[in-house]
Structure 1
Protein backbone atom coordinates (compact mmCIF):
# COMPACT_ATOMS: atom_id res chain seq x y z
CA UNK A 1 0.00 0.00 0.00
CA UNK A 2 1.22 3.51 -0.82
CA UNK A 3 1.42 5.14 2.62
CA UNK A 4 1.42 8.71 1.28
CA UNK A 5 -1.69 8.05 -0.79
CA UNK A 6 -3.35 6.29 2.13
CA UNK A 7 -2.69 9.32 4.36
CA UNK A 8 -4.09 11.65 1.72
CA UNK A 9 -0.78 13.20 0.62
CA UNK A 10 -1.78 13.46 -3.04
CA UNK A 11 -2.68 17.19 -3.01
CA UNK A 12 -1.78 20.34 -1.10
CA UNK A 13 -5.14 20.55 0.62
CA UNK A 14 -5.10 16.87 1.56
CA UNK A 15 -1.63 17.24 3.12
CA UNK A 16 -2.74 20.27 5.13
CA UNK A 17 -5.92 18.53 6.32
CA UNK A 18 -3.90 15.54 7.53
CA UNK A 19 -1.37 17.81 9.21
CA UNK A 20 -4.10 19.77 11.00
CA UNK A 21 -5.66 16.58 12.36
CA UNK A 22 -2.33 15.16 13.59
CA UNK A 23 -1.19 18.51 14.99
CA UNK A 24 -4.41 18.93 16.97
CA UNK A 25 -3.98 15.49 18.53
CA UNK A 26 -0.32 16.21 19.37
CA UNK A 27 -1.26 19.60 20.84
CA UNK A 28 -3.91 18.09 23.13
CA UNK A 29 -1.49 15.33 24.09
CA UNK A 30 1.19 17.90 24.95
CA UNK A 31 -1.03 20.16 27.03
CA UNK A 32 -2.43 17.19 28.98
CA UNK A 33 1.01 15.72 29.70
CA UNK A 34 2.37 19.18 30.51
CA UNK A 35 -0.22 19.44 33.27
CA UNK A 36 0.37 15.86 34.50
CA UNK A 37 4.17 16.19 34.60
CA UNK A 38 4.28 19.83 35.74
CA UNK A 39 6.40 20.74 32.73
CA UNK A 40 5.99 24.16 31.15
CA UNK A 41 8.24 23.07 28.28
CA UNK A 42 5.82 20.26 27.38
CA UNK A 43 2.86 22.61 27.72
CA UNK A 44 4.71 25.06 25.43
CA UNK A 45 5.24 22.27 22.92
CA UNK A 46 1.49 21.64 22.91
CA UNK A 47 0.60 25.33 22.66
CA UNK A 48 3.16 25.76 19.84
CA UNK A 49 1.51 22.89 18.00
CA UNK A 50 -1.94 24.35 18.60
CA UNK A 51 -0.84 27.72 17.17
CA UNK A 52 0.65 25.93 14.19
CA UNK A 53 -2.60 24.01 13.65
CA UNK A 54 -4.63 27.24 13.66
CA UNK A 55 -2.34 28.67 10.97
CA UNK A 56 -2.62 25.46 8.97
CA UNK A 57 -6.40 25.88 8.97
CA UNK A 58 -5.95 29.38 7.53
CA UNK A 59 -3.46 28.06 4.98
CA UNK A 60 -5.95 25.37 3.97
CA UNK A 61 -8.65 28.00 3.36
CA UNK A 62 -6.30 30.08 1.21
CA UNK A 63 -5.13 26.99 -0.67
CA UNK A 64 -8.75 26.15 -1.45
CA UNK A 65 -9.42 29.70 -2.69
CA UNK A 66 -6.33 29.57 -4.92
CA UNK A 67 -7.47 26.24 -6.35
CA UNK A 68 -10.94 27.70 -7.02
CA UNK A 69 -9.47 30.77 -8.74
CA UNK A 70 -7.61 28.46 -11.13
CA UNK A 71 -10.99 27.11 -12.26
CA UNK A 72 -13.31 30.13 -12.30
CA UNK A 73 -16.31 27.97 -13.20
CA UNK A 74 -16.32 26.67 -9.61
CA UNK A 75 -16.28 30.15 -8.03
CA UNK A 76 -19.39 32.03 -7.02
CA UNK A 77 -20.22 35.06 -9.15
CA UNK A 78 -19.56 37.48 -6.28
CA UNK A 79 -16.07 36.10 -5.61
CA UNK A 80 -15.25 36.02 -9.31
CA UNK A 81 -16.31 39.66 -9.75
CA UNK A 82 -14.50 40.97 -6.66
CA UNK A 83 -11.26 39.00 -7.03
CA UNK A 84 -10.66 39.04 -10.77
CA UNK A 85 -6.90 38.47 -10.29
CA UNK A 86 -7.39 35.52 -7.95
CA UNK A 87 -6.24 34.94 -4.38
CA UNK A 88 -2.48 34.52 -4.85
CA UNK A 89 -1.78 37.64 -2.79
CA UNK A 90 -3.17 35.89 0.33
CA UNK A 91 -0.42 33.24 0.33
CA UNK A 92 2.51 35.46 1.47
CA UNK A 93 0.21 37.23 3.94
CA UNK A 94 -0.70 33.91 5.60
CA UNK A 95 2.94 32.78 5.59
CA UNK A 96 4.00 36.04 7.30
CA UNK A 97 1.23 35.71 9.87
CA UNK A 98 2.17 32.09 10.53
CA UNK A 99 5.85 32.85 11.09
CA UNK A 100 5.11 35.92 13.22
CA UNK A 101 2.72 33.99 15.48
CA UNK A 102 5.13 31.08 16.01
CA UNK A 103 8.03 33.43 16.72
CA UNK A 104 5.82 35.40 19.15
CA UNK A 105 4.84 32.22 21.04
CA UNK A 106 8.52 31.23 21.25
CA UNK A 107 9.61 34.65 22.55
CA UNK A 108 6.88 34.54 25.22
CA UNK A 109 8.01 31.05 26.27
CA UNK A 110 11.65 32.23 26.45
CA UNK A 111 10.70 35.06 28.80
CA UNK A 112 8.78 32.62 31.04
CA UNK A 113 11.65 30.12 31.02
CA UNK A 114 14.12 32.80 32.16
CA UNK A 115 11.69 33.85 34.89
CA UNK A 116 11.37 30.24 36.06
CA UNK A 117 15.15 29.80 36.17
CA UNK A 118 15.52 32.90 38.31
CA UNK A 119 12.77 31.59 40.63
CA UNK A 120 14.54 28.30 41.29
CA UNK A 121 13.05 26.08 38.57
CA UNK A 122 10.24 23.55 38.99
CA UNK A 123 9.91 19.88 40.02
CA UNK A 124 8.81 17.44 37.28
CA UNK A 125 7.37 13.94 36.99
CA UNK A 126 10.06 12.73 34.57
CA UNK A 127 8.40 9.39 33.76
CA UNK A 128 5.33 11.15 32.30
CA UNK A 129 7.59 13.62 30.52
CA UNK A 130 9.72 10.91 28.88
CA UNK A 131 6.66 8.99 27.67
CA UNK A 132 5.30 12.15 26.07
CA UNK A 133 8.61 13.00 24.40
CA UNK A 134 9.07 9.54 22.85
CA UNK A 135 5.57 9.35 21.35
CA UNK A 136 5.65 12.94 20.08
CA UNK A 137 9.14 12.65 18.58
CA UNK A 138 8.10 9.61 16.52
CA UNK A 139 5.01 11.46 15.29
CA UNK A 140 6.93 14.63 14.38
CA UNK A 141 9.67 12.73 12.53
CA UNK A 142 7.11 10.78 10.49
CA UNK A 143 5.14 13.87 9.51
CA UNK A 144 8.28 15.87 8.72
CA UNK A 145 9.59 13.20 6.34
CA UNK A 146 6.25 12.71 4.56
CA UNK A 147 5.55 16.44 4.23
CA UNK A 148 9.07 17.29 3.02
CA UNK A 149 8.65 14.81 0.19
CA UNK A 150 5.12 16.05 -0.53
CA UNK A 151 6.28 19.69 -0.55
CA UNK A 152 8.90 18.95 -3.20
CA UNK A 153 6.45 16.94 -5.30
CA UNK A 154 3.62 19.47 -5.06
CA UNK A 155 5.88 22.57 -5.14
CA UNK A 156 3.83 24.11 -2.34
CA UNK A 157 5.24 26.78 0.01
CA UNK A 158 2.43 26.04 2.46
CA UNK A 159 3.40 22.35 2.67
CA UNK A 160 7.13 23.18 2.84
CA UNK A 161 6.53 25.60 5.73
CA UNK A 162 4.33 23.03 7.47
CA UNK A 163 7.10 20.44 7.07
CA UNK A 164 9.55 22.91 8.66
CA UNK A 165 7.11 23.33 11.54
CA UNK A 166 7.15 19.56 12.11
CA UNK A 167 10.97 19.59 12.01
CA UNK A 168 11.00 22.42 14.57
CA UNK A 169 8.47 20.61 16.78
CA UNK A 170 10.51 17.41 16.50
CA UNK A 171 13.68 19.30 17.41
CA UNK A 172 11.99 20.75 20.47
CA UNK A 173 10.79 17.31 21.52
CA UNK A 174 14.20 15.68 20.93
CA UNK A 175 15.84 18.30 23.16
CA UNK A 176 13.17 17.72 25.80
CA UNK A 177 13.68 13.95 25.66
CA UNK A 178 17.43 14.26 26.21
CA UNK A 179 16.90 16.67 29.09
CA UNK A 180 14.19 14.55 30.72
CA UNK A 181 16.34 11.41 30.52
CA UNK A 182 19.18 13.30 32.19
CA UNK A 183 16.82 14.59 34.87
CA UNK A 184 15.49 11.09 35.51
CA UNK A 185 19.06 9.78 35.80
CA UNK A 186 20.16 12.33 38.41
CA UNK A 187 17.15 11.88 40.68
CA UNK A 188 18.23 10.45 44.04
CA UNK A 189 21.89 11.28 43.42
CA UNK A 190 24.10 14.08 44.71
CA UNK A 191 23.30 15.98 41.51
CA UNK A 192 19.56 15.97 42.20
CA UNK A 193 19.63 19.73 42.81
CA UNK A 194 19.95 20.18 39.04
CA UNK A 195 16.59 18.50 38.29
CA UNK A 196 14.29 21.52 38.96
CA UNK A 197 16.32 23.65 36.52
CA UNK A 198 16.19 21.17 33.64
CA UNK A 199 12.72 22.03 32.35
CA UNK A 200 13.12 25.84 32.14
CA UNK A 201 16.75 25.59 30.98
CA UNK A 202 16.00 23.32 28.04
CA UNK A 203 12.96 25.41 27.13
CA UNK A 204 15.10 28.56 27.06
CA UNK A 205 17.74 26.88 24.89
CA UNK A 206 15.12 25.51 22.47
CA UNK A 207 13.46 28.93 22.13
CA UNK A 208 16.78 30.66 21.44
CA UNK A 209 17.46 28.12 18.69
CA UNK A 210 14.05 28.10 16.97
CA UNK A 211 13.19 31.81 17.10
CA UNK A 212 15.53 32.74 14.19
CA UNK A 213 14.70 29.68 12.04
CA UNK A 214 11.63 31.08 10.19
CA UNK A 215 13.31 34.42 9.40
CA UNK A 216 14.14 33.36 5.82
CA UNK A 217 10.48 32.48 5.19
CA UNK A 218 9.39 35.79 6.74
CA UNK A 219 11.85 37.70 4.57
CA UNK A 220 10.60 36.06 1.38
CA UNK A 221 6.92 36.49 2.23
CA UNK A 222 7.43 40.17 3.06
CA UNK A 223 9.27 40.60 -0.25
CA UNK A 224 6.27 39.08 -2.03
CA UNK A 225 3.84 41.35 -0.17
CA UNK A 226 5.95 44.39 -1.11
CA UNK A 227 6.17 43.16 -4.75
CA UNK A 228 9.97 43.07 -4.72
CA UNK A 229 11.16 41.85 -8.14
CA UNK A 230 13.07 38.54 -7.92
CA UNK A 231 16.44 39.11 -9.59
CA UNK A 232 16.65 35.62 -11.12
CA UNK A 233 13.27 36.11 -12.82
CA UNK A 234 14.27 39.61 -13.98
CA UNK A 235 17.50 38.33 -15.56
CA UNK A 236 15.65 35.58 -17.41
CA UNK A 237 12.89 37.86 -18.71
CA UNK A 238 15.43 40.53 -19.71
CA UNK A 239 17.35 37.95 -21.74
CA UNK A 240 14.19 36.80 -23.54
CA UNK A 241 12.99 40.38 -24.17
CA UNK A 242 16.39 41.59 -25.42
CA UNK A 243 16.62 38.63 -27.81
CA UNK A 244 13.09 39.42 -29.09
CA UNK A 245 14.02 43.08 -29.70
CA UNK A 246 17.10 42.04 -31.69
CA UNK A 247 15.30 39.33 -33.68
CA UNK A 248 12.30 41.43 -34.72
CA UNK A 249 13.95 44.83 -35.03
CA UNK A 250 12.03 46.54 -32.23
CA UNK A 251 13.43 49.71 -30.67
CA UNK A 252 13.42 48.67 -27.00
CA UNK A 253 11.29 47.13 -24.25
CA UNK A 254 10.08 47.71 -20.72
CA UNK A 255 9.58 44.85 -18.24
CA UNK A 256 7.54 44.93 -15.03
CA UNK A 257 7.82 41.85 -12.81
CA UNK A 258 6.57 40.66 -9.44
CA UNK A 259 6.25 37.40 -7.54
CA UNK A 260 3.42 36.87 -5.07
CA UNK A 261 3.74 33.43 -3.50
CA UNK A 262 3.66 30.97 -6.37
CA UNK A 263 2.14 33.58 -8.68
CA UNK A 264 4.41 35.34 -11.17
CA UNK A 265 3.17 38.52 -12.84
CA UNK A 266 5.07 39.57 -15.97
CA UNK A 267 4.23 42.59 -18.11
CA UNK A 268 6.31 43.25 -21.25
CA UNK A 269 5.98 46.34 -23.44
CA UNK A 270 7.86 46.34 -26.76
CA UNK A 271 8.49 49.72 -28.40
CA UNK A 272 7.99 49.44 -32.15
CA UNK A 273 9.11 52.04 -34.72
CA UNK A 274 6.26 54.15 -36.09
CA UNK A 275 7.15 53.22 -39.68
CA UNK A 276 7.16 49.44 -38.99
CA UNK A 277 5.28 47.61 -41.77
CA UNK A 278 1.76 46.61 -40.79
CA UNK A 279 1.16 43.05 -39.57
CA UNK A 280 -2.08 41.21 -39.00
CA UNK A 281 -3.17 40.17 -35.53
CA UNK A 282 -2.11 36.58 -36.16
CA UNK A 283 1.50 37.70 -36.72
CA UNK A 284 1.55 39.63 -33.43
CA UNK A 285 0.02 36.64 -31.58
CA UNK A 286 2.68 34.34 -33.00
CA UNK A 287 5.35 36.65 -31.58
CA UNK A 288 3.53 36.58 -28.22
CA UNK A 289 3.49 32.76 -28.31
CA UNK A 290 7.19 32.76 -29.11
CA UNK A 291 7.95 35.03 -26.14
CA UNK A 292 5.70 33.06 -23.80
CA UNK A 293 7.41 29.77 -24.70
CA UNK A 294 10.85 31.33 -24.19
CA UNK A 295 9.88 32.65 -20.74
CA UNK A 296 8.34 29.29 -19.77
CA UNK A 297 6.34 28.38 -16.70
CA UNK A 298 2.97 28.55 -18.44
CA UNK A 299 0.11 27.68 -16.10
CA UNK A 300 -2.46 29.11 -13.73
CA UNK A 301 0.29 30.69 -11.61
CA UNK A 302 1.72 32.82 -14.45
CA UNK A 303 0.15 36.12 -15.50
CA UNK A 304 1.83 37.24 -18.74
CA UNK A 305 0.90 40.44 -20.56
CA UNK A 306 2.68 41.36 -23.81
CA UNK A 307 2.02 44.72 -25.47
CA UNK A 308 3.38 46.21 -28.72
CA UNK A 309 3.23 49.99 -29.02
CA UNK A 310 4.79 52.84 -30.95
CA UNK A 311 4.23 55.28 -28.09
CA UNK A 312 6.77 54.87 -25.29
CA UNK A 313 4.43 56.58 -22.82
CA UNK A 314 2.19 53.48 -22.91
CA UNK A 315 5.16 51.49 -21.60
CA UNK A 316 6.14 53.91 -18.81
Structure 2
Protein backbone atom coordinates (compact mmCIF):
# COMPACT_ATOMS: atom_id res chain seq x y z
CA UNK A 1 0.00 0.00 0.00
CA UNK A 2 1.32 3.49 -0.80
CA UNK A 3 2.76 5.38 2.15
CA UNK A 4 2.70 9.05 3.06
CA UNK A 5 -1.08 9.27 2.84
CA UNK A 6 -2.88 11.23 5.54
CA UNK A 7 -5.56 8.69 6.51
CA UNK A 8 -6.76 10.54 9.62
CA UNK A 9 -7.22 13.80 7.73
CA UNK A 10 -9.15 12.05 4.97
CA UNK A 11 -11.50 10.39 7.44
CA UNK A 12 -12.08 13.61 9.38
CA UNK A 13 -13.04 15.39 6.14
CA UNK A 14 -15.42 12.59 5.20
CA UNK A 15 -17.01 12.68 8.67
CA UNK A 16 -17.50 16.43 8.28
CA UNK A 17 -19.20 15.79 4.94
CA UNK A 18 -21.49 13.24 6.58
CA UNK A 19 -22.44 15.64 9.40
CA UNK A 20 -23.11 18.56 7.05
CA UNK A 21 -25.12 16.35 4.70
CA UNK A 22 -27.30 15.35 7.65
CA UNK A 23 -27.91 19.01 8.53
CA UNK A 24 -28.79 19.96 4.95
CA UNK A 25 -31.19 17.02 4.54
CA UNK A 26 -33.28 18.07 7.55
CA UNK A 27 -33.21 21.77 6.61
CA UNK A 28 -34.10 21.13 2.95
CA UNK A 29 -37.01 18.78 3.67
CA UNK A 30 -38.31 21.18 6.34
CA UNK A 31 -38.31 24.13 3.93
CA UNK A 32 -39.75 21.97 1.12
CA UNK A 33 -42.69 21.13 3.40
CA UNK A 34 -43.21 24.80 4.30
CA UNK A 35 -42.81 26.29 0.82
CA UNK A 36 -44.25 23.42 -1.30
CA UNK A 37 -41.32 23.90 -3.70
CA UNK A 38 -40.26 21.09 -6.01
CA UNK A 39 -36.84 22.71 -6.49
CA UNK A 40 -36.14 22.67 -2.75
CA UNK A 41 -37.38 19.09 -2.54
CA UNK A 42 -34.96 18.18 -5.33
CA UNK A 43 -32.18 19.96 -3.44
CA UNK A 44 -33.09 17.93 -0.37
CA UNK A 45 -32.99 14.67 -2.30
CA UNK A 46 -29.64 15.70 -3.77
CA UNK A 47 -28.39 16.33 -0.19
CA UNK A 48 -29.75 12.93 0.84
CA UNK A 49 -27.53 11.25 -1.74
CA UNK A 50 -24.26 12.54 -0.17
CA UNK A 51 -25.62 11.48 3.24
CA UNK A 52 -25.93 7.82 2.27
CA UNK A 53 -22.87 7.97 0.03
CA UNK A 54 -20.81 9.42 2.90
CA UNK A 55 -21.62 6.35 4.99
CA UNK A 56 -20.33 4.11 2.21
CA UNK A 57 -17.38 6.42 1.56
CA UNK A 58 -16.18 6.17 5.17
CA UNK A 59 -16.28 2.39 4.91
CA UNK A 60 -14.34 2.48 1.64
CA UNK A 61 -11.82 4.93 3.13
CA UNK A 62 -11.05 2.28 5.77
CA UNK A 63 -10.82 -0.52 3.22
CA UNK A 64 -8.41 1.20 0.83
CA UNK A 65 -5.87 1.57 3.65
CA UNK A 66 -5.68 -2.20 4.11
CA UNK A 67 -2.72 -4.08 2.63
CA UNK A 68 -2.95 -6.85 0.04
CA UNK A 69 -4.46 -10.09 1.31
CA UNK A 70 -5.56 -13.52 0.07
CA UNK A 71 -8.88 -12.15 -1.23
CA UNK A 72 -7.59 -8.96 -2.88
CA UNK A 73 -4.09 -9.57 -4.19
CA UNK A 74 -3.73 -5.98 -5.42
CA UNK A 75 -5.29 -4.31 -2.39
CA UNK A 76 -8.66 -2.58 -2.04
CA UNK A 77 -8.03 0.63 -4.00
CA UNK A 78 -10.18 -0.57 -6.93
CA UNK A 79 -13.22 -0.11 -4.66
CA UNK A 80 -12.63 3.66 -4.72
CA UNK A 81 -13.43 4.31 -8.42
CA UNK A 82 -16.26 1.76 -8.19
CA UNK A 83 -17.91 3.81 -5.43
CA UNK A 84 -17.40 7.05 -7.36
CA UNK A 85 -18.97 5.42 -10.42
CA UNK A 86 -21.96 4.39 -8.31
CA UNK A 87 -22.26 7.90 -6.86
CA UNK A 88 -22.28 9.53 -10.28
CA UNK A 89 -24.93 7.14 -11.62
CA UNK A 90 -27.23 7.89 -8.66
CA UNK A 91 -26.84 11.66 -9.19
CA UNK A 92 -27.52 11.32 -12.93
CA UNK A 93 -30.67 9.29 -12.25
CA UNK A 94 -31.86 11.87 -9.72
CA UNK A 95 -31.32 14.75 -12.16
CA UNK A 96 -33.19 12.98 -14.96
CA UNK A 97 -36.12 12.14 -12.68
CA UNK A 98 -36.33 15.77 -11.50
CA UNK A 99 -36.32 17.09 -15.08
CA UNK A 100 -39.07 14.70 -16.18
CA UNK A 101 -41.20 15.57 -13.15
CA UNK A 102 -40.71 19.31 -13.77
CA UNK A 103 -41.75 18.97 -17.43
CA UNK A 104 -44.96 17.26 -16.30
CA UNK A 105 -45.54 20.11 -13.83
CA UNK A 106 -45.21 22.70 -16.61
CA UNK A 107 -48.03 21.07 -18.56
CA UNK A 108 -50.31 21.06 -15.51
CA UNK A 109 -50.11 24.76 -14.67
CA UNK A 110 -46.79 25.01 -12.87
CA UNK A 111 -46.17 24.95 -9.14
CA UNK A 112 -46.83 27.81 -6.75
CA UNK A 113 -44.53 28.20 -3.75
CA UNK A 114 -43.96 30.50 -0.78
CA UNK A 115 -41.04 32.31 -2.33
CA UNK A 116 -40.17 34.48 0.67
CA UNK A 117 -39.31 31.43 2.80
CA UNK A 118 -37.76 29.78 -0.25
CA UNK A 119 -35.34 32.69 -0.67
CA UNK A 120 -34.23 32.29 2.96
CA UNK A 121 -33.50 28.62 2.31
CA UNK A 122 -31.65 29.45 -0.92
CA UNK A 123 -29.36 31.88 0.89
CA UNK A 124 -28.62 29.43 3.71
CA UNK A 125 -27.98 26.50 1.36
CA UNK A 126 -25.82 28.52 -1.06
CA UNK A 127 -23.49 29.84 1.64
CA UNK A 128 -23.34 26.49 3.42
CA UNK A 129 -22.64 24.31 0.36
CA UNK A 130 -20.00 26.59 -1.12
CA UNK A 131 -18.41 26.84 2.32
CA UNK A 132 -18.15 23.07 2.75
CA UNK A 133 -16.93 22.61 -0.85
CA UNK A 134 -14.20 25.25 -0.41
CA UNK A 135 -13.14 23.80 2.96
CA UNK A 136 -12.82 20.26 1.61
CA UNK A 137 -11.12 21.40 -1.59
CA UNK A 138 -8.54 23.41 0.38
CA UNK A 139 -7.73 20.58 2.79
CA UNK A 140 -7.74 17.90 0.09
CA UNK A 141 -4.83 19.46 -1.81
CA UNK A 142 -2.30 17.59 0.31
CA UNK A 143 -4.19 14.28 0.01
CA UNK A 144 -4.13 11.62 -2.69
CA UNK A 145 -7.83 10.90 -2.27
CA UNK A 146 -10.34 10.62 -5.09
CA UNK A 147 -12.97 10.10 -2.39
CA UNK A 148 -12.45 13.60 -0.95
CA UNK A 149 -12.05 15.10 -4.42
CA UNK A 150 -15.38 13.72 -5.64
CA UNK A 151 -17.04 14.71 -2.36
CA UNK A 152 -15.82 18.30 -2.85
CA UNK A 153 -17.26 18.24 -6.39
CA UNK A 154 -20.56 16.98 -5.00
CA UNK A 155 -20.78 19.90 -2.56
CA UNK A 156 -19.79 22.35 -5.31
CA UNK A 157 -22.61 21.06 -7.51
CA UNK A 158 -25.01 21.38 -4.57
CA UNK A 159 -23.81 24.97 -4.07
CA UNK A 160 -24.46 25.82 -7.72
CA UNK A 161 -27.85 24.19 -7.40
CA UNK A 162 -28.70 26.25 -4.30
CA UNK A 163 -27.45 29.50 -5.85
CA UNK A 164 -29.62 28.90 -8.90
CA UNK A 165 -32.58 28.18 -6.65
CA UNK A 166 -31.97 31.44 -4.79
CA UNK A 167 -31.88 33.41 -8.04
CA UNK A 168 -35.00 31.73 -9.38
CA UNK A 169 -36.95 32.30 -6.19
CA UNK A 170 -35.95 35.97 -6.18
CA UNK A 171 -37.31 36.30 -9.73
CA UNK A 172 -40.54 34.51 -8.77
CA UNK A 173 -40.95 36.66 -5.66
CA UNK A 174 -40.83 39.86 -7.69
CA UNK A 175 -43.13 38.39 -10.35
CA UNK A 176 -45.73 37.79 -7.64
CA UNK A 177 -45.57 41.48 -6.75
CA UNK A 178 -45.96 42.59 -10.38
CA UNK A 179 -48.54 42.46 -13.16
CA UNK A 180 -46.86 39.23 -14.36
CA UNK A 181 -48.09 37.25 -11.35
CA UNK A 182 -49.60 34.54 -13.60
CA UNK A 183 -46.10 33.47 -14.63
CA UNK A 184 -44.81 32.98 -11.07
CA UNK A 185 -45.99 29.32 -10.73
CA UNK A 186 -43.89 28.36 -13.76
CA UNK A 187 -40.61 29.56 -12.24
CA UNK A 188 -40.21 26.55 -9.92
CA UNK A 189 -40.51 23.81 -12.62
CA UNK A 190 -38.48 25.83 -15.17
CA UNK A 191 -35.79 26.31 -12.55
CA UNK A 192 -35.83 22.60 -11.78
CA UNK A 193 -35.41 21.68 -15.46
CA UNK A 194 -32.52 24.12 -15.90
CA UNK A 195 -30.77 22.87 -12.75
CA UNK A 196 -31.12 19.22 -13.67
CA UNK A 197 -29.76 19.71 -17.19
CA UNK A 198 -26.89 21.97 -16.09
CA UNK A 199 -25.74 19.58 -13.37
CA UNK A 200 -25.67 16.48 -15.57
CA UNK A 201 -22.23 17.10 -17.18
CA UNK A 202 -20.45 17.08 -13.78
CA UNK A 203 -21.51 13.59 -12.61
CA UNK A 204 -21.20 12.54 -16.24
CA UNK A 205 -17.49 13.39 -16.24
CA UNK A 206 -16.98 11.68 -12.87
CA UNK A 207 -18.73 8.60 -14.25
CA UNK A 208 -16.48 8.44 -17.33
CA UNK A 209 -13.29 9.00 -15.32
CA UNK A 210 -14.27 6.35 -12.77
CA UNK A 211 -15.27 3.91 -15.51
CA UNK A 212 -11.84 4.27 -17.13
CA UNK A 213 -10.24 3.25 -13.83
CA UNK A 214 -12.64 0.36 -13.27
CA UNK A 215 -11.82 -1.14 -16.69
CA UNK A 216 -8.08 -0.34 -16.30
CA UNK A 217 -7.88 2.00 -19.25
CA UNK A 218 -4.46 3.58 -19.74
CA UNK A 219 -4.16 7.28 -18.84
CA UNK A 220 -4.00 9.92 -21.61
CA UNK A 221 -0.89 9.78 -23.80
CA UNK A 222 0.40 13.11 -22.44
CA UNK A 223 0.32 11.72 -18.88
CA UNK A 224 1.95 8.44 -19.94
CA UNK A 225 4.78 10.27 -21.72
CA UNK A 226 5.61 12.28 -18.58
CA UNK A 227 5.69 9.11 -16.46
CA UNK A 228 7.83 7.24 -19.00
CA UNK A 229 10.28 10.14 -19.22
CA UNK A 230 10.69 10.26 -15.46
CA UNK A 231 11.07 6.46 -15.31
CA UNK A 232 13.85 6.45 -17.90
CA UNK A 233 15.65 9.16 -15.92
CA UNK A 234 15.50 6.91 -12.84
CA UNK A 235 17.18 4.16 -14.91
CA UNK A 236 19.95 6.34 -16.33
CA UNK A 237 22.65 4.02 -14.93
CA UNK A 238 21.19 0.96 -16.68
CA UNK A 239 22.26 0.17 -20.27
CA UNK A 240 18.90 -0.59 -21.93
CA UNK A 241 17.68 -0.67 -25.52
CA UNK A 242 14.07 0.11 -24.70
CA UNK A 243 11.69 0.44 -21.76
CA UNK A 244 8.10 -0.79 -22.17
CA UNK A 245 5.67 0.59 -19.56
CA UNK A 246 2.09 -0.41 -18.89
CA UNK A 247 0.20 2.08 -16.70
CA UNK A 248 -3.09 1.80 -14.87
CA UNK A 249 -4.71 3.99 -12.20
CA UNK A 250 -6.89 2.45 -9.52
CA UNK A 251 -8.22 4.95 -7.01
CA UNK A 252 -5.27 6.71 -5.43
CA UNK A 253 -2.63 4.31 -6.76
CA UNK A 254 -0.85 4.41 -10.13
CA UNK A 255 0.55 1.01 -11.05
CA UNK A 256 3.47 0.60 -13.45
CA UNK A 257 4.48 -2.71 -15.01
CA UNK A 258 7.95 -2.04 -16.44
CA UNK A 259 9.81 -4.26 -18.89
CA UNK A 260 13.43 -3.19 -19.31
CA UNK A 261 14.89 -4.58 -22.54
CA UNK A 262 18.62 -4.59 -21.83
CA UNK A 263 21.41 -4.49 -24.41
CA UNK A 264 24.47 -6.72 -24.66
CA UNK A 265 26.59 -4.52 -22.39
CA UNK A 266 24.25 -5.23 -19.45
CA UNK A 267 26.05 -7.69 -17.22
CA UNK A 268 25.34 -8.40 -13.56
CA UNK A 269 26.49 -11.26 -11.41
CA UNK A 270 23.89 -11.34 -8.62
CA UNK A 271 20.16 -10.90 -8.14
CA UNK A 272 20.93 -8.42 -5.37
CA UNK A 273 22.28 -5.99 -7.96
CA UNK A 274 18.97 -6.18 -9.86
CA UNK A 275 17.08 -5.57 -6.63
CA UNK A 276 19.23 -2.48 -5.98
CA UNK A 277 18.29 -1.10 -9.41
CA UNK A 278 14.60 -1.72 -8.68
CA UNK A 279 14.79 -0.08 -5.26
CA UNK A 280 16.66 2.97 -6.57
CA UNK A 281 14.26 3.48 -9.46
CA UNK A 282 11.14 3.06 -7.30
CA UNK A 283 12.52 5.43 -4.65
CA UNK A 284 13.08 8.12 -7.29
CA UNK A 285 9.62 7.60 -8.80
CA UNK A 286 7.83 7.60 -5.43
CA UNK A 287 9.67 10.74 -4.36
CA UNK A 288 8.31 12.36 -7.52
CA UNK A 289 4.82 10.89 -7.08
CA UNK A 290 4.02 8.93 -3.86
CA UNK A 291 1.04 7.21 -5.48
CA UNK A 292 3.24 5.15 -7.83
CA UNK A 293 3.62 1.40 -7.33
CA UNK A 294 6.01 -0.54 -9.59
CA UNK A 295 7.03 -3.98 -10.78
CA UNK A 296 10.23 -4.10 -12.86
CA UNK A 297 11.25 -7.00 -15.11
CA UNK A 298 14.58 -7.32 -16.96
CA UNK A 299 14.45 -9.10 -20.34
CA UNK A 300 16.51 -9.59 -23.48
CA UNK A 301 13.80 -10.75 -25.89
CA UNK A 302 11.52 -7.80 -26.89
CA UNK A 303 8.69 -10.23 -27.67
CA UNK A 304 8.33 -10.95 -23.93
CA UNK A 305 7.26 -7.33 -23.40
CA UNK A 306 4.27 -7.64 -25.76
Residue ranges of structure 2 left out of the alignment (5+ in a row): 1-6
1:162 to 131, 136, 151: 151
Residues 1:172 and 2:161 aligned together: yes
Partner of 1:12: 10
* 1:110-150 deviation digits (Å, cap 9, x = unpaired): 11111111111012122221222222222112111101102
2:174 to 185, 190, 195: 185
Residues 1:289 and 2:279 aligned together: yes
Q: What's the offset of the Cα at 1:294?
A: 4.0
Flag the 1:25–1:276 CA change in 2: closer, same or farther, 3 A.
closer
Partner of 1:88: 77
Residue ranges of structure 1 left out of the alignment (5+ in a row): 1-8, 73-79
2:92 and 2:204 in contact (8 A); partners too: no
Residues 1:200 and 2:198 aligned together: no
* 1:169-227 deviation digits (Å, cap 9, x = unpaired): 11111111122222222324311111111111111111111111233222211111121
2:239 and 2:265 in contact (8 A); partners too: no
1:149 to 130, 138, 143: 138
Report the TM-score, using the length of structure 2 for normalisation: 0.88
Partner of 1:219: 208
Q: What's the offset of the Cα at 1:153?
A: 2.5
1:245 and 1:252 in contact (8 A); partners too: no
Bigger relative contact order, structure 1 or 2, given CA contacts below 8 A and separation 6+? Answer: 2
Partner of 1:5: none
Partner of 2:40: 42
Task: Give aligned pairs, total.
Answer: 299
Flag the 1:253–1:39 CA change in 2: closer, same or farther, 3 A.
same
Flag the 1:34–1:232 CA change in 2: closer, same or farther, 3 A.
same
Q: Secondary structure at the match of 1:213?
A: helix
2:239 and 2:266 in contact (8 A); partners too: no
Residues 1:261 and 2:272 aligned together: no
1:62 to 60, 63, 79: 60
Flag the 1:180–1:242 CA change in 2: closer, same or farther, 3 A.
closer
* The 10-residue stretch of structure 1 (45-54 or 288-297) with the greater mean CA deviation from structure 2: 288-297
